[in-house]
Chain A
Amino acid sequence: MNRDVLVKLNYLLLALLLIGASLVIRHAENPERLIQGQWIEKEWRLEKDNAGADEESRIQSGLKREIMQNVEDLHLGVWHFSEDGSLKSATSADESDMEWFIKGRGHVLELRRNGKPIESFQIQQISKDRLVLHLNFDLQVKGIIEIVLEKKEQLDQYAKKI
């Protein structure tokens, strides 16, 4: 093929990539929209720790308990992500001013209390009915806390069906 044509094809490809990516960003489901609503905590577990299930020592269990205690105030029960950026809990008595922000490419959930960042989670999975968050630990334990949440409306619909 003629080199001039190939060069023009290069420019066309570049333009298509830019336009295509922009269109997907504009029309695909945005994590910021997907997360809005009420989510019910289904699971809290420590994953990918150093020890296997059978060799788990008492020290490891103690460490786990200590870590879980540190993030105890994030046990909200029902997480209500409002459109105005506030995060409320339907079950927790804590009424402090919590806010949520989605950062990065839509893969980080940052929580702030009274304007100060308190925790950031990796959004491992987000869909209309399921949200999986990972809380990373880099220091004492090589592990992550996995929080699995399910959309309240989806659960209500399921309950009605039954």
Chain B
Amino acid sequence: MLRKYSNHRTQSDNVKLGALTAFSAGMVNVASVTVFFAFTSNITGYYAVLAQEISKGNWYQGAVVLLWVTLFFLGSFLSNFVIIQGKGRWSQYISHAIPVVLEFLSILFVGIYLDAFYQNSLKETEILVGALLFAMGLQNGLTASISNSVVKTTHLTGLTTDLAIIVSMFSKHEHRHNKALVDKFHLLLTIMIAYVAGGLFGGIGYLYLENGTFYLTCAILLIIALYDFYKIGRIKRIFERRKREVVPA
């Protein structure tokens, strides 16, 4: 899911990565709206809000939105920075796993802070939403970077546009058998469904788990980070077993 890069990735790699990251993004987004009254994956909307707040002369609110957008930017920047700077220094899997680990730590920080220290103040709300936006930036930067911009897990405006274009392409008979188009359709549909399902799960889950919703997101991120670790280990074991079988012969 994480160790392959760009065109070396299979459709299955992209679907798994897209579904799990979109699910976690949907969960974080709804949990954040419930706790903080602020979205964490709605950057298009925040650009509009930034302009609106500045035009109304609300400098404080405008600055908060600017800070959030910049933190999302910083997250995406850091994600790709680690991936390209890590090339040749350490394994590709490690480079791709670092942004997931950073995202995990950001969301874990929010969960622990909410449980242990949160006093419901505006300052805390701004910082915690900032941490979640940074986490979402990391995630979106990672998925877009390693999949050659095929997987974008929080960019639902673009996804809905692409999905609509593909559906309209299917109005022509010859496109319905175009494997690349059909694969892309499946991928985008999976991401969309996973995002909505994550949102539903986050909303309903918050009623029962409260801040535990953030820990649950961390668990999903751990699955993403450790899945390839498990796969690499399995491949190694198979390889060594085959080697042992070949040597006696």
Residues of A within 8 A of B63 (CB): 20-22, 24-25, 28
Query: Does B148 interact with chain A (Cβ within 8 Å)?
Result: no
Question: Do residues B125 and A103 form an inter-chain contact, with CB atoms below 8 A?
Answer: yes
Residues of A within 8 A of B121 (CB): 32
Residues of A within 8 A of B60 (CB): 24-25, 28-31, 106
Question: Do residues A103 and B61 form an inter-chain contact, with CB atoms below 8 A?
Answer: no
Query: Does A107 interact with chain B (Cβ within 8 Å)?
Result: yes
Query: Does A36 interact with chain B (Cβ within 8 Å)?
Result: no
Contact of A14 among B49, B68, B70, B123 (CB under 8 A): B70
Distance between Cα atoms of A103 and B126 in the complex (Å): 8
Contact of B70 among A18, A105, A108 (CB under 8 A): A18
Distance between Cα atoms of A6 and B44 in the complex (Å): 26
Mark contacts of A1-43 with chain B using CB atoms, 8 A cut-off: 1 yes-contact digit, 0 otherwise: 0000000000000100110111011001111100000000000
Residues of B within 8 A of A52 (CB): none
Main secondary structure of the interface of B (DSSP, over half): helix
Distance between Cα atoms of A105 and B67 in the complex (Å): 10
Query: Does A104 interact with chain B (Cβ within 8 Å)?
Result: yes
Question: Do residues A25 and B37 form an inter-chain contact, with CB atoms below 8 A?
Answer: no
Contact of A17 among B62, B64, B66 (CB under 8 A): B66
Distance between Cα atoms of A107 and B65 in the complex (Å): 11
Distance between Cα atoms of A106 and B63 in the complex (Å): 11
Query: Does A86 interact with chain B (Cβ within 8 Å)?
Result: no
Contact of B36 among A18, A20, A29, A103 (CB under 8 A): A103
Tell me the count of chain A residues lying within 8 A, CB to CB, of chain B: 25
- Contacts A105-B38, A105-B61 given; indicate if A32 touches B67 (C-beta within 8 A): no
Residues of B within 8 A of A22 (CB): 63, 67
Mark contacts of B63-84 with chain A using CB atoms, 8 A cut-off: 1 yes-contact digit, 0 otherwise: 1111110100110010000000
Residues of B within 8 A of A77 (CB): none
Residues of B within 8 A of A120 (CB): 37
Contact of A104 among B36, B56, B62, B70 (CB under 8 A): B36
Measured CB to CB, the residues of B under 8 A from A are 36-38, 49, 53, 56, 59-68, 70, 73-74, 77, 120-123, 125-126
Q: Which 10 A-B pairs have the closest CB atoms?
A: A24-B63, A104-B37, A21-B67, A103-B37, A28-B60, A105-B64, A108-B37, A21-B66, A32-B122, A21-B63
